[in-house]
Amino acid sequence: MITEPDKENEEETISGENNPVPALLMCPPRFYDVSYVINPWMRGNLGKASLSLAMQQWQKLCRVLSGMAHVLLVEPVAGSPDMVFTANAGLAHAGIVVISSFYYPERQNEETHFRRWFTDAGYRVADLPREIPFEGEGDALFSSNGLRLWVGYGYRTRESSHAILRDLWAIEVAGLHLVDPRFYHLDTCFAPLKDGSLLYFPPAFDKTSVARIEAYYPPAQRIVISEEDAMSFACNAVNIGKTIVLNRISSELECKLKVRGFQVIQVELSEFLKAGGAAKCLVMQLTPE
């Protein structure tokens, strides 16, 4: 079932390439909880997320993003508490969506619900075999010019998925090996920004991957973040035009982003950090800007 919070934008198409207003997919946290442990953030937090506070924080994020984008909603499902992290629904590009093939059985039930949403929305839907895990936009991010797809691997997504993505869209795919379990998805430690720069936390990657990143982004385009900001999910940022929406960050990083001309909107997302996610994980991009 599809519901839309913003009736004013109803007439706009959601998968059209020429849509000037970005479309985002979110999922209300009605059944959100930390009810299993599949990453280090969840350890010690079982049952500790406040549902009412999570709802307030999510609504604030949704309100902020609705001012800049067309936010579409997928109905949450009882028993799939992590469905709220729609970045893991799959990867959508050029009218095709690759539905995630979740690594952990705990999240595999979500696949059916996301697949149904995309089918109803008119996407061409592609699936990966179960033995090739791929966790969607959580591990796959386009460079700002849209020419290169960076794909993380090591914890969830398998490297063998990369060639499938490359062939499906005829795009350049560059793998990045994640080596710190706290940063188990690429979008927890790597954020290409719309001005061509990159926000990232180098210790989350192996040496070869850091070299690959540095060969692509010249020094002036690299914004290296501190461990403290990385632990606050600073890279887990939603960037729409000149605006960046993220969890709380240090004033030093906020300043660096402002100097680059970005407006920075911080939304407290403490309840979602308990499951290992923040702003970007709660959102899936449906259209390229």
Question: What amino acid positions are annotated as catalytic residues?
Answer: 185, 281
Cβ atoms 71, 6 nearer than 8 A: yes
From CA 114, how far away is CA 83, in angstroms rounded? 9
User: Which of 70, 115, 162, 185 is in the footprint of ligand ARG by CB under 6 A?
Assistant: 185
Nearer residue to ligand ARG within complex by CB, 107 or 256: 107
From CA 188, how far away is CA 12, in angstroms rounded? 31
Q: Return the range that interacts with ligand ARG (CB under 6 A); candidates 114-122, 206-214, 238-246, 270-278.
A: 270-278
Helices marked H in 95-188 = 105-108, 110-120, 161-169
User: Which of 25, 38, 65, 98 is in the footprint of ligand ARG by CB under 6 A?
Assistant: 38
Site for ligand ARG in 199-228 (CB under 6 A): none
From CA 180, how far away is CA 102, in angstroms rounded? 19
Q: Return the range that interacts with ligand ARG (CB under 6 A); candidates 35-43, 49-57, 111-119, 257-265.
A: 35-43
Cβ atoms 93, 288 nearer than 8 A: yes
User: Which of 176, 276, 283, 286 is in the footprint of ligand ARG by CB under 6 A?
Assistant: 276
User: Binding residues for ligand ARG, how many (CB under 6 A)?
Assistant: 16
Nearest to ligand ARG by Cβ — which residue? Answer: 138
From CA 60, how far away is CA 132, in angstroms rounded? 36
From CA 128, how far away is CA 118, in angstroms rounded? 15
149 binding ligand ARG? (CB under 6 A): no
244 binding ligand ARG? (CB under 6 A): no
**80, two tokens:** 């799939």
Q: Return the range that interacts with ligand ARG (CB under 6 A); candidates 21-29, 184-192, 202-210, 262-270.
A: 184-192
157 binding ligand ARG? (CB under 6 A): no
Site for ligand ARG in 120-139 (CB under 6 A): 138
From CA 192, how far away is CA 172, in angstroms rounded? 16
Site for ligand ARG in 86-125 (CB under 6 A): 87-88, 107
74 binding ligand ARG? (CB under 6 A): no
Nearer residue to ligand ARG within complex by CB, 88 or 285: 88
From CA 187, how far away is CA 39, in angstroms rounded? 14
User: Which of 275, 279, 283, 286 is in the footprint of ligand ARG by CB under 6 A?
Assistant: 275
CB of 49 to ligand ARG, least distance (A): 11
- Which amino acid, one-letter code, is at 286? L
CB of 84 to ligand ARG, least distance (A): 9
From CA 99, how far away is CA 161, in angstroms rounded? 12
* 243 DSSP β-pair partners: 240, 263
Phi-psi region of 90 (alpha: psi -120 to 50; beta: other; left: phi over 0): left
Residues contributing to the site for ligand ARG (CB under 6 A):
38-39, 42, 82, 85, 87-88, 107, 138, 185, 187-188, 275-277, 281
